[in-house]
Structure 1
Amino acid sequence: MATALRPVQTAVYQKLTGSTALMALVSGIFDEVPEPAPYPYVSFGSILEYPDDAHDRQGLDVLVTLHVWSKALGNGQAADIFAALDAALDRVPLAVAGFTDVSIKHTQHQSIKDPDPDVRHINATYRVRLTRLT
């Protein structure tokens, strides 16, 4: 089985950093968040991969979790960042190296109370479905 973890993360990263609307709102998109983190920003969370084969081709179902982080008062800034993130990804063409029939769709998001009362946090999950090129 060939994994799509790295190619999917690369494609999502490129799509997000290519969004001028999103990048105007955040200090960066991070896999590993630098310390101290420059708020607001988006970070990658877990990426889960499941086989979803056709009869003669390898298919994969990949769940990508992204996190929005803000220190602005209230939830408004985090919500605006999530909206820009969602506009950049949900049902938008996504090119993933080594794969075809790629689709990406928003599956859920939630606003979370962070232990630090100054931090606003939204996590969002996207489902990427794809087929390995033969």
Structure 2
Amino acid sequence: MTAPISRSPAQPVQKAIYDRLTGDDTLMALVEGVYDQVPEDKAYPWVRIGDHLSTPDNDLTSYGREITETIHVWTRTRRNSQGQQIAARIGELLDHQERELDVAGHRVVSIRQEYDQALPDPDPQIRHHVLRFRITTEQEEE
């Protein structure tokens, strides 16, 4: 009998997050789009599902992963309120919503928001919010 192969949930997690965010009418009314790769000259505000870190979280009987997924909110305004509103909606859609995230080939054990940080940009008309979520998964048996 051969052991099952460990499969990374990184891409399925990113797809599930994208589907969750773009499937929400409230969020989509606040932004011009949600992207992995943002098109040049894209109108603000927008969300980019970006950088992730995936680490094994195995036990004796199953494969698991902890993924930290970073989501960026970009707005063109001198104030943080628009970005904060968008970031808050993303938090509502993902934080503690493990049953709502369908990750192909994996079961989502937990989703926890680690932080939401507002950052200044060299352009005073731009605001950047960074959110990070920790997603714990278990690989489903084949």
Q: Please indicate the TM-score interval, normalised by the length of the shorter structure.
A: over 0.9
Structure 1 stretches of 4+ moved >6 Å? none
Paired residue for 2:87? Answer: 82
**Aligned-residue CA RMSD (Å):** 1.0
TM-score relative to the length of structure 2: 0.90
Superposition pairs for residues 21-40 of structure 1, below 5 Å?
Answer: 21-40=26-45
CA deviations 1:98-124 (Å, max 9, x no partner) are 012432111112111112211000000
Q: SS at the partner of 1:131?
A: strand
Task: Give 1:128 deviation, angstroms.
Answer: 0.6
TM-score after normalising by structure 1: 0.96
Report the equivalent of 1:68: 73
Q: Tell me, what secondary structure is at the counterpart of 1:78?
A: helix
Note the residue ranges of structure 1 that are not aligned, 5 or more in a row. none
Larger radius of gyration: 2
CA distance in 1, matches of 2:74, 2:115: 17
Identity among equivalent pairs (%): 38
Specify every segment of 5 or more residues in structure 2 that has no aligned partner in the other structure, as ranges.
1-5
CA contact (8 A) 2:114 2:134 kept: yes
Kept in 1, the 8 Å contact 2:110–2:135? The answer is yes
Output aligned runs, 1:1-134, within 5 Å.
1-92=6-97, 93=99, 94-134=101-141
Q: How many residues align?
A: 134
Q: Secondary structure at the match of 1:35?
A: coil
Structure 1 residues 112 and 101, CA gap change in structure 2 (3 angstroms): closer
Question: Following TM superposition, by how much is the alpha carbon of 1:8 offset from its aligned partner in structure 2, in angstroms?
Answer: 0.3
